[in-house]
Structure formats: structure tokens, C-alpha cells
Structure 1
Amino acid sequence: MLARDPYEGLCRVQSEYGNIAGFGWGPVKYVLMFGPEANAFLFANSGLFTVREAFDVLVPVNGETALIASDGEAHKHRRRLVQPAFHRRRVDGYIARMAENADALLDTWRPGETVDAYAALREVTRRTTVQLLFGDRLAADEELLGGELQTLLDGIDRPYSQLVALRSVPNPFWRRVIQARASVLERLMREIADRRMDPTPRQDVLGLLLDSRDADGGGLTDVELQDQAISLMAAGYETTSAALGWAVHLMLTTEGVWERAREEVGDVPLTAEALQSFTYLGRVVDEVLRLFPPAVMSARKVAEDFVFEGHRVPAGSMLLYSPYVTHRMESVWPEAEAFRPDRWDPASPLHRPATPATYLPFGGGQHRCIGSAMAVTGIKVSLARLLARTGLEHTGAPVTPRSITAMRPRDGVPVVVKEVRAA
């Protein structure tokens, strides 16, 4: 059931078996835990779990020291060094570049043509992510670098069982993935070497990672720099562009949403303050991420036996939890399957205060996505430019999801361009 349709399958497991269920064979045991109580338990008891084994299949792409595959003190140390690059004031400084790249895309659109909004915004997001993470020199190689990065992303965008099988025997696909990573690393290390020869401060993420120091004066090693850069790229652009695709689809197919958001954005110059003032657009983005969270489910390896809701979960089990299921539980979110941006208005009868256990589009606890503020800002900026400059019409083509690592529109989001206004 989970293999055929992981989205409906996960919801059916929760509906039919409750908030904790297990399956498996021999030594391979899986436990699924659903809902706010399960999420709160998981995030409050991080010592019962490890992530290294849970994300072992991602290590060949993301690296041994990537935050997603780090545990304990090593994870805390690396996260402290990476965190400054994603402080709010840093992210606000990225808005102009995000808007510039969105405008460059819209300048190429012509009234009357049909475009795949998801594919187009995906290219823009990749270009922006390369620029903000790696700087202008590497961004000049974005087309070549982007192709290698896409090969890397394709290498981890497979069901877990396929990834295990692909890694276990020599095959052309996995060789291409490993070669792509080596190519990206070679270009990245040349950039790092150039910056060490010319230590002029740079405000991109790579520059901030190079300069970051802990209380003892220690920084990231070369291997840690490589792994953080690649894993941030992998985590950043695919998930952000997926959310943008869903946002365009939902806004154009839900009566009144596009028009209301467009009226709010108007011709207001795009600054950090303006972006914060777009309260309705913020509610739209929150609602998109509720219905289509970047990761359908996530995993932990159980390090110690524990009991949850009367069930003993043995050490060695693979634990799965699902933001997607929590976000679609009627007991948590009334009219959970419906796209209702106004549910985020405290005056709405549908409003429910979001907590880390009820709303977790970027995961939670110590391993919550470190780039979540940057992702949300990028989504809002691209949508604000679309709203300010274009009139779009959905073609009516069905839009269905694919992938559980970054749930995105399977066949894109085709729209007809009705109008394009000058920047």
C-alpha cells in the first residue's frame, strides 16, 4: 500500500491502525508514529533515536558530516557553525537577488503562451540557490553545475528500497551519481582555495561558513564545508521549487485567492518590511506548506527500547513519522483536505494555533531544517513577483504529486500567460 501510493497509504495506515503501527520481516522492523502526541514525544526524546543510520542511504550524496546525517555533539557543533548563515537578517539580505532572478524569468514570458510554472520556477530557484550559497563565481557555472547537482538529486529521489539496492551492486546510474558529486566537489574546492588566497569577506553562505568559528576558535573542516554546501543545496532548491509549484496550482484553482493576494502585493517595492506586511500571502504560503510539506515523512533509528501509547518499540527499529499525515488529520486541522488560507487568521472559525507538534513542514526538534526561513522567504518573493507582474490562467490539466523526499507536481503546473507587466 505504501509503495503504490505513499500519500494515501500513510493516511490509511493512520486511519485504520491508529497513531502507532508496525510492519516488517526478520530483522527489518518499521514503526510508524502519527499525530501531534507522537511528534512531541519524538522531538522531546531525541536521546532515544539516531539519524545517522536512518539517513545512511543519503550519505553518498550529502556526505558523512552533513547535518541531516549527524548525531549528538558533532551535530550540535556543526549546526552552531552553520546557523549564522541563516539568521533572519542574513536572509533579508537575500531578498533583492531572489526578486532579480524572478524578474529575469518573467521578462521572458509572453502573453498567450503556455508555460510550465513549476519547471520555470524550479530553474529560477536553482539559479538563486547556487548564487546565494556559493557566490557569483560559481553562479557563472550554474548551468554546468546545475546539471551535476540535478544528477545528485536524482540519486536520492528514489524509494528507500531502491536506494539500498542501487548502492549494493555496481551499476551505471550510481556511478553517474558518484561522478557528479566528485565534479561538484572539485569545483567547490577550487572556489574555497581561491577565497583563502583572497580573504575578502563575502556575504554568501559559503563565505559565512568559511568565516564561522565556535567559542574555541575552531571552524569547519574542508570535508565539513563540502558536505554542508552540497547538502544545503540538495535540501534547498528541490523543496522550495516544489512548494512554489503547488502554490501556483492552488492559488489559480481556488476561487478568489490569486486576486486577493495580487491586490495585497500591488506595486509595493519588495523589501523585508513589505514582505512581512503581506499577511494574506503569508497565510497562503503557510497553507500550501500544510497541505504539501517538503518531506512527506522522515525517519529515526531507535537506539533504546521505549513505550508509546502502551506499545513497546524495540531498539533497532526504523521509526517513521509523517508531517503530511499530521497536517491532514481532521482532529488537528478542521477541513484538513481543503485549501483554506484564512484558517491562519485568528478570527477564522477554522483557526487552530500551530505548534511544533501540529505544524512541521520542515521537521522538528534538533534536526529541524536549518534553512527553513530562507526557503519560506524565497517562496514569498517569487510569488510576490508573479502576482505583481503577471496574470495567469490554469489550463485545467490534472496536477498530482510524486516523490516523498520533496513532494512535487508530477507533470508540472501548466498555465496560460494572460498578461505580463514591466518590472
Structure 2
Amino acid sequence: MFDLDAESEQRIEQICNIDLIGRTVGEAVKHNIASPRVQRIVGIKEYPKVHWRYLLRNPHLRSGNVPALFSDLAGEYGPVFQIKPPFSQSLIFLAGPEVNRWVHRKGRNFLRSADYFADIEKVYGAHGVFPSLDGADHFRLRKALNHSYSCNRLEGHLDTLYARIRKFVADWEEGALLRPASACRYLANTQISPLMAGIDTQDVIDDLIKFKERVLLTHVARVLPKFLSHTPGMKRRAKAIESVVERVQFAHTPAQRVGCPRNLVDDLLSLHASDPQFLPEANLTFFLSTPALASVYLGDMLGFALYSMASHREVHESIQNEADALFGAGDPEGEDLSKSAIDVTRRVVMECLRMYPTIPMSIRNVMNTCVIEGFELPLGTRVHVAQTATHYMSDLFPDPLSFDIDRYLPSRNEHLGTAYAPYGLGTHLCLGFRWVELQLAINLLMIAHYFTLEVFPADRPLRLSPFPSMSPSKSLRLKIAEKRHKLPA
């Protein structure tokens, strides 16, 4: 159409080539942006589906023993499997020693807790509370509150702890029957609320427990419809939460705290005052009410420990010997409660936590696509990490259904490693687990010092209540067979 000289034709050809190069580079960049950096593994495994016939025939399902149940499921179906509840989406479960190691070492890079806890945050009008935090903020909050949950802090409150325990058990008489499911929760709450929050919540603890359990069943376990968390009864119990927060605030004015040992609430209020953006006022309702709610878990642990002590006579006598040595000539100081002085009691607590962990699994959401044991977990998948399933695997804990405190002797040390996980794994490991173990040991020692307990009737097997957390069945009874020492007035 046009007459062009050779130089012009060459220039046009160069421009066309540059355009082709640009298009090629553009497609390559577009491909890199659209495609994941982590390449999918060819031949990825499908999640095995648990057969309902196998599940319903499992004896641990009927007894409520969640860790033993998931140990069996992991042995039958592998480390990753799914359960399809009726009229609901499939639930993905992870269990086994390889899973525990992976979660403990790498879980922080692939799993997060914010998603499953979001609905509970809405209930409290909060955002970014302790259980829902991940990453740098979670690390910073743990570091700020580390001393608040330490054994050193508890040792500074020993006089209050001893007095609270004695006051609660003062009306226990020989021949009386105890209901650990309720009595141990009250006993724990009469200690935790004053120690951590400086108040007494015994008059509202029943409402607090019902509120917590309903919220967990509707928003976390999702076994109940969400509208049940907005009933008139729940609104009344929510006011009990508000009253607890008001009590805490009234008890922590500067004038009232003069000369008092620091507690968790003091540390929280100091953190809020120093950095209100990191710990805003909107989150204080949740944080200030948690001590009373946390007493539920401590109480259930104590109930299991009392049952284990009462059902094993030799263990009971060994704990009594340690208790008499410590409390026979007065109350022990913090340094007196050494590992050697409470060796049997400490191992009893550890074995109870292995056999009856109150929180047997954790819920997380996948934030980065990952592969574990050949199974891909896509972005956004909700997984249930049954970290305590390993507690009932015979290759890790021989004869796992037997109560054996010798597992924790130096010659065996079966608890070392990630197979023993009653407090969780990874960055979300329970911050106050040392406090919990010491407080449980002190409760066991003092009760054994003053009383001898028996299971009533003697041949009654222990039944567990698995939801929303593992606790002793309400049918469990303990009998006060002997009152060994007179309680001080």
C-alpha cells in the first residue's frame, strides 16, 4: 500500500518483535501472579471417611473418652480423616505423633485460631483477645503476661490459697458423699477468683458456667443453633458477666490495691493503661471475666485427680505421706514444695492430665495451603487437631488404659516430646500450665492430709462428660471415709 525504504521496514519489524517480547513477558508475569508459589503435589491423597458403624460401635464413644476414641480412629484411618455428621459439612480431624510434631514445629506458619473464635469475640464485643491472637501480637501478649501465670506469682499467694481450701472443706464430715463434678468447680473458683481477680464469684459461678458452656456449644462446637445463645436466660447470664467485671474494677482502685500482692487483673489494667491500642477497653470485659471461667477447667482437672487418688489406695497413701511431711508442722513455703517433696503427687497430676485432658483437641483454620502426611489442607479449611489422641497410643504410652504414675520416672520419661500434650502444642501452649500443676498438687495434698476418700460405690466405673469440654460425669460420687486431722479454726 505504501512504499517504504529498507530502513523503515527494518524499524517496523523491530517494533513488532518488541511487542511480541512484551506480550510473552506479560503472560509469564500473569501466570506467576495467578499461580500459587507452593506447587501442588501430584497424587495427593483423599481424606478417608470414618464409617458410622465403626464410630458407633467404639466403646470410647459411649464412655465419653474423646482422646481414646480419636486414638482408635487415627489407628484405623490414619493421621488425617473426616467425619460427616448428619445434615452438616464434613469435619476434618488430625491425630497422631507425626501430626503433633508438625503442629508444634510448623503449625504457626499454616494454622491460625482467629477464625473459630470470631463469634465468641462478638458475644463479648471484643476483638483480638488472647485465644484468637496469632503471630507477633500473640507473642507480645504472652510475654507481657508471662509472670502473671507463673509459679512464682502463685507462691506469693500461698497463704490465701491455704486459707481458701481449708474454709471450703471445713464442713466435710466423715461418711458424707461428694459430687466432684460440682464440688470441685466450686472449690477451684473459691481459689482462682480471689487469687487472680481479687474478688469472690461463688454467688454467680453457676450462671457463668452455663453462659460459657452455651456459647461454646453454639459458636465453637456448633452442635446447637446460634439463636439459643440469645434466649432470655442467656441475656440474664450475660448480666452476671457484667456484674463480675464491675466487681473487679471496683476492687482494683489504686487506694484498694495498696499493700496487696499483684494479681492478673493488676497486670491487665497496667497493660491497658500503658498501651490502650494493644489492649483496648473493649477487650477488658473478656479478660476480666476469664479467671472465674477458667476455674471450670481447673475444677474438672481436680475432680479427675480426686477420683484417681481415691480409686488407687497405694497412691492415696503415698500422697498422704507427702502431705503429712509438708503440713504436719505448719504450712509449707514455696521452696518447700520442690519436685522431690511432692514427687508422687506431681506424677499423679501428670497421669490424670494424660488420661483425662479437659481440652482434648484444638480448632484451627488453614491460613496457608499445606500438605501433612501426604494430605493437602487447602486455604480456609477448618481442622480439628486431636493432640491428645497420642495419650492412648500403646507404642507411645504402653498399656494406655492403665493408671501408671511410673511413666514419668527418669527411667521411662514417656511424657517427653510432643506425644504428651494436655496443654496444647506450639505457640498456643497453655501459658499457666506450671501454675495449674502446682495448684492441683497443693489441693490434692491438703485434701489427702485432712481426709481419706473412697469411690462410692467402689465398683462404679468412671464415666466422662465430653461436651463442651471433658469433665467427670455428674453421677460420680466420692465418700469421705476418714477425717484424719482437725482443721484449724
TM above 0.5, yes or no, is yes
Which residue matches 1:278?
A: 342
Select 1:73's aligned residue among 125, 130, 136: 136
| 1:64 and 2:127 aligned | yes
Over residues 55-83 of structure 1, what are the superposed CA-to-partner deviations in whole Å (9 max), with x where a residue is unaligned? 34543556533211223333233333332
Select 1:381's aligned residue among 417, 442, 450: 442
Over residues 93-112 of structure 1, what are the superposed CA-to-partner deviations in whole Å (9 max), with x where a residue is unaligned? 23332222221122101112
C-alpha distance in 1 between matches for 2:134 and 2:82: 25
Which residue matches 1:188?
A: 245
* Counterpart contact for 1:22–1:32, Cα < 8 Å: yes
* Counterpart contact for 2:79–2:99, Cα < 8 Å: yes
Which residue matches 2:23?
A: none
Over residues 230-265 of structure 1, what are the superposed CA-to-partner deviations in whole Å (9 max), with x where a residue is unaligned? 23432x211111111111111222241101121122
Using the TM superposition, give the Cα deviation of residue 209 of structure 1 relative to its aligned residue in structure 2, in angstroms: 1.6
Using the TM superposition, give the Cα deviation of residue 409 of structure 1 relative to its aligned residue in structure 2, in angstroms: 0.8
Partner of 1:242: helix, strand, or coil? helix
C-alpha distance in 2 between matches for 1:69 and 1:182: 24
Select 1:415's aligned residue among 478, 481, 487: 478
Segment drifting more, 334-343 vs 175-184: 175-184
Partner of 1:358: helix, strand, or coil? coil
| 1:336 and 2:400 aligned | yes
Select 2:205's aligned residue among 133, 146, 162: 146
Using the TM superposition, give the Cα deviation of residue 339 of structure 1 relative to its aligned residue in structure 2, in angstroms: 0.5
C-alpha distance in 1 between matches for 2:278 and 2:376: 41
Partner of 1:361: helix, strand, or coil? coil
Partner of 1:198: helix, strand, or coil? coil
Q: 1:60 to 1:123 in 2, by over 3 A?
A: farther
Over residues 25-46 of structure 1, what are the superposed CA-to-partner deviations in whole Å (9 max), with x where a residue is unaligned? 9994532221222112112221
User: Match of 1:39, as an amino acid?
Assistant: N
Which residue matches 2:382?
A: 318
| 1:293 and 2:357 aligned | yes
User: Match of 1:59, as an amino acid?
Assistant: E
* Counterpart contact for 1:362–1:368, Cα < 8 Å: yes
Q: 1:69 to 1:422 in 2, by over 3 A?
A: same
User: Match of 1:83, as an amino acid?
Assistant: N
User: Match of 2:389, as an amino acid?
Assistant: V
The correspondence of residues 110-189 of structure 1 with structure 2, limited to 5 A, is: 110-135=173-198, 138-139=199-200, 142-158=201-217, 163=222, 165-167=224-226, 169=227, 171=228, 174-189=231-246
In structure 2, runs of 5+ residues without a counterpart are 1-51
| 1:226 and 2:285 aligned | yes
User: Match of 2:238, as an amino acid?
Assistant: R
Using the TM superposition, give the Cα deviation of residue 271 of structure 1 relative to its aligned residue in structure 2, in angstroms: 2.7
User: Match of 2:79, as an amino acid?
Assistant: N
Partner of 2:446: helix, strand, or coil? helix
**Cα RMSD (Å):** 2.9
**Relative contact order, higher structure (CA 8 A, sep 6+):** 1
TM-score (normalised: structure 1): 0.87
Select 1:359's aligned residue among 415, 420, 425: 420
Q: 1:157 to 1:190 in 2, by over 3 A?
A: closer
C-alpha distance in 2 between matches for 1:130 and 1:54: 27
Q: 1:35 to 1:94 in 2, by over 3 A?
A: farther
Over residues 5-24 of structure 1, what are the superposed CA-to-partner deviations in whole Å (9 max), with x where a residue is unaligned? 56254233112101222345
Partner of 2:431: helix, strand, or coil? coil
* Counterpart contact for 2:213–2:468, Cα < 8 Å: no
Structure with bigger gyration radius: 2
C-alpha distance in 2 between matches for 1:69 and 1:218: 17
C-alpha distance in 1 between matches for 2:252 and 2:298: 28
Using the TM superposition, give the Cα deviation of residue 346 of structure 1 relative to its aligned residue in structure 2, in angstroms: 1.4
* Counterpart contact for 2:218–2:225, Cα < 8 Å: no
C-alpha distance in 1 between matches for 2:408 and 2:71: 23
Q: 1:221 to 1:161 in 2, by over 3 A?
A: closer
Select 1:52's aligned residue among 108, 111, 114: 114
Q: 1:303 to 1:387 in 2, by over 3 A?
A: same
User: Match of 1:13, as an amino acid?
Assistant: L
* Counterpart contact for 1:242–1:406, Cα < 8 Å: no
TM-score (normalised: structure 2): 0.76
User: Match of 1:344, as an amino acid?
Assistant: Y
C-alpha distance in 1 between matches for 2:160 and 2:246: 24
Select 2:160's aligned residue among 92, 97, 101: 97
Q: 1:91 to 1:36 in 2, by over 3 A?
A: farther
* Counterpart contact for 2:217–2:224, Cα < 8 Å: no
Q: How many residues align?
A: 413
Which residue matches 1:107?
A: 170
Q: 1:384 to 1:220 in 2, by over 3 A?
A: same
Segment drifting more, 309-318 vs 403-412: 403-412
